[in-house]
Structure 1
Amino acid sequence: MTFKSRFFKSAAALSVAALALTACGNGGEDTGNGNGNGDSAAEGNGGEVTIGVFNGWEEGIAVSELWAYVLEEEGYDVSLEYADPAPVYSGLSTNDYNVTLDAWLPITHADYVEEYEADIQDLGAWNEEASLHIAVNEDAPIDSLDELAENADEFNNEIVGIDPGAGLVQTTENEVIPTYGLEDMEFTTSSTPAMLQELDSALEAGENIAVTLWRPHWAYDAFPIKDLEDPEGALGGAESMHTFANAEWAQDEANSELVGWFEGFEMDSDTLYSLENVMFNENEDVDDYRPIIEEWAAENQEYVDGLTN
């Protein structure tokens, strides 16, 4: 499969999520029968659960779709609602969303967690191998961020970012650019799909490109790219991906079994890459991930069964 076909499959699926978000008019795509408010909190087995999912964050989409399948198999009515990080954290604090599975700490989402800490609860890290990066094409003439300023012309004097509200964008603006003297380069932001499209187009044209990216992400398997070294540590060290819940919901005894499952959730990067690859690389023009999830679950049955043990 070509890089282009891999990208446009993912972009098409995310576009469907975005269209559904607009249609709902309340900040999310509803993939279950929950109403996305406090009344949707799970009431034990067979209850309703609303999961907030960050637009364009593939690892969060992947594990949220997996948990929707797992919980529905256990008798729950699950609603996945897509929104940007800021409204997800706000909705989590008011119990419009019961859970979100893609909180990055200690850096990327620290401001959101601090803002809403009185009303949300950390259920633990499920992956501790996450990190932020500036990535370039594999054959780029530089290997480190401290070489980028003097070679800016090679990259069209541009760094291509993702969503303006993303923590990675804020870190790039506030730490990376001043640390490495990149103020003369244009830092453009729009969305993750738009960034991936520019990455794909540049690679096909044989051009150099610098983009904001993070690990784990399926793009590292799909594209010939490399991370620029960060000798000053401007992007921070390794991060962890956490599950957060509305505090009142998490402390409700009726939800104890479900909370316990989330607290025990672990997924290493190889397993996550496997799931992301079948969702975003190997299948094109998909607007319903359920058949893909079911097939992946059947091939990884021992792992999936362990999620609710």
Structure 2
Amino acid sequence: MRSPENSPRKDSGHRSESESEVTKIEISKLAGALGASALLLTVAGCGASNTGGEPVGGGATEEAAESPWANCTPGAESADITSTAPDADSEITIGTFNGWDESVAVAHLAKAVLEEDGYTVNIEAFDAGPGYVALDAGDIDLLVDSWLPLTHEDYLEQYGDNLEAMGCWYDNAKLTIAVNDDSPAQSIADLAEMGDEYGNRLVGIEPGAGLTRITKEEAIPTYGLEGYEFIESSTPAMLAELKSATDSGENIAVTLWRPHWAYGSFPIRDLEDPEGAMGDAELIYNFGTSGFGEAHPKAAQLMKNLVLDDERLSDLESVMFAEDQYNGEDPDGAVAEWLADNPDFVEEWQTGQLAG
């Protein structure tokens, strides 16, 4: 497993792009110019880990709040495509982000539905920077996991003029502190008075993660949690502790984020954040390469129709990534099982009814 990738924002406290990542991007630009897509350093297949994407968090800047990407209603551009003929160009390549589980889940979900309609779909995995370079160059057709207005804003500033927005499909990407369902705390503020209930421990993830920084710099001082031992370890270690505690009926508090498959695998809930210390929720968009909508009008409309709420998304991710299910090893098989258990989903998607 790998820790969630942090935002490339230079003015945030998160890890900025490393020199090696920048080098990859420059190589990718050259590859696009030469038509040598192999230089994009992609990895065939899903390339997923059991961590997932992590939003920036820490509150929205005024600039982000004014971003054109800050306001989007999932499924707002929905339309019925059941009587629309498949696109003449039936080959589509979808890009996912390494370690961002929801991108893998959505890409393989789209793959299943498109292939049922006669398309040939390939999926390639990238780190974020090279993914946007590949989309800009036309080496891939779609990216299904653009976090806005904060996490991927630099990429949209650089490449957005050459990309086509295909709607947002999720509106609750955020940093959280979660507890077991039956524990007493309802708000992060409650933890300060309930330390004994949680062993005075807050279980975190990797020390370098943006979630860790926000918890230390914002949540702990805001809510007076200095008396807690904040454990910085790893995402797998946090999930192991979460599983152990919920299996044994013990109280636990962990740092987490949405979307994540843990919400579909463990009896947990988010604590309320009345002071907004963990930051605002973000949107997740689909983007196509320039000209995608004209070349693939039916596929483009399908992506605009996509809407996933927390329950459906965490359930799909849980089937795909939980250790006692597919464990990330067969995304297509996981999607097939999930669709069999949700028989109305495809029809609702194709008829534009997922937006409710």
Residue 296 of structure 2 aligns to a residue whose secondary structure is: helix
Q: CA deviation at 1:45?
A: 3.1
Residue 117 of structure 1 aligns to a residue whose secondary structure is: helix
Question: Structure 2 CA distance, aligned partners of 1:305 and 1:143?
Answer: 38
Alignment match of 2:298 (pick from 257, 273, 282): 257
Q: CA deviation at 1:190?
A: 3.8
> Percent identity of the aligned residues?
39
Do the aligned partners of 2:177 and 2:256 also contact (CA within 8 Å) in 1? yes
Q: CA deviation at 1:227?
A: 1.7
Partner of 1:232: 275
Do the aligned partners of 1:27 and 1:81 also contact (CA within 8 Å) in 2? yes
Do the aligned partners of 2:43 and 2:124 also contact (CA within 8 Å) in 1? yes
Do the aligned partners of 1:95 and 1:249 also contact (CA within 8 Å) in 2? no
Gaps of at least 5 residues in structure 1 are: 1-10, 12-23, 32-42
TM-score (norm 2): 0.60
Question: Structure 2 CA distance, aligned partners of 1:151 and 1:115?
Answer: 46
The within-5 A match list for 1:185-264 is 186=230, 188=232, 190-191=234-235, 193-204=236-247, 208-246=251-289, 248-250=290-292, 253-264=294-305
Give a deviation string over 1:198-255, Cα, whole Å, max 9, x none.
Answer: 3223444665543222344442342232322211112234443221233x2536x323
Distance of aligned partners of 1:261 and 1:221 in 2 relative to their CA distance in 1, 3 Å threshold? closer
- The reply on whether 1:28 has 2:43 as its aligned counterpart is yes
Partner of 1:71: 114
Distance of aligned partners of 1:218 and 1:177 in 2 relative to their CA distance in 1, 3 Å threshold? same
The within-5 A match list for 1:39-118 is 44-57=88-101, 59-118=102-161
Partner of 1:275: 316
Give a deviation string over 1:12-64, Cα, whole Å, max 9, x none.
Answer: xxxxxxxxxxxx99243326xxxxxxxxxxx953223132244142x332222
Question: Structure 1 CA distance, aligned partners of 2:287 and 2:141?
Answer: 9
1:76 maps to amino acid = Y
Q: CA deviation at 1:93?
A: 3.9
2:116 maps to amino acid = E
Give a deviation string over 1:143-171, Cα, whole Å, max 9, x none.
Answer: 332344676684565441369566x5565
Which structure's residues are more often helix, by fraction? 1
Do the aligned partners of 1:126 and 1:242 also contact (CA within 8 Å) in 2? yes
Aligned length: 271
> Which contiguous aligned blocks of 4+ residues in structure 1 show a shift greater than 6 angstroms?
150-153
TM-score (norm 1): 0.68
Distance of aligned partners of 1:223 and 1:297 in 2 relative to their CA distance in 1, 3 Å threshold? closer
Do the aligned partners of 2:201 and 2:253 also contact (CA within 8 Å) in 1? no
- The reply on whether 1:136 has 2:179 as its aligned counterpart is yes
Give a deviation string over 1:108-145, Cα, whole Å, max 9, x none.
Answer: 44454445434444321123344431112345564332
Distance of aligned partners of 1:147 and 1:307 in 2 relative to their CA distance in 1, 3 Å threshold? closer
Distance of aligned partners of 1:298 and 1:221 in 2 relative to their CA distance in 1, 3 Å threshold? closer
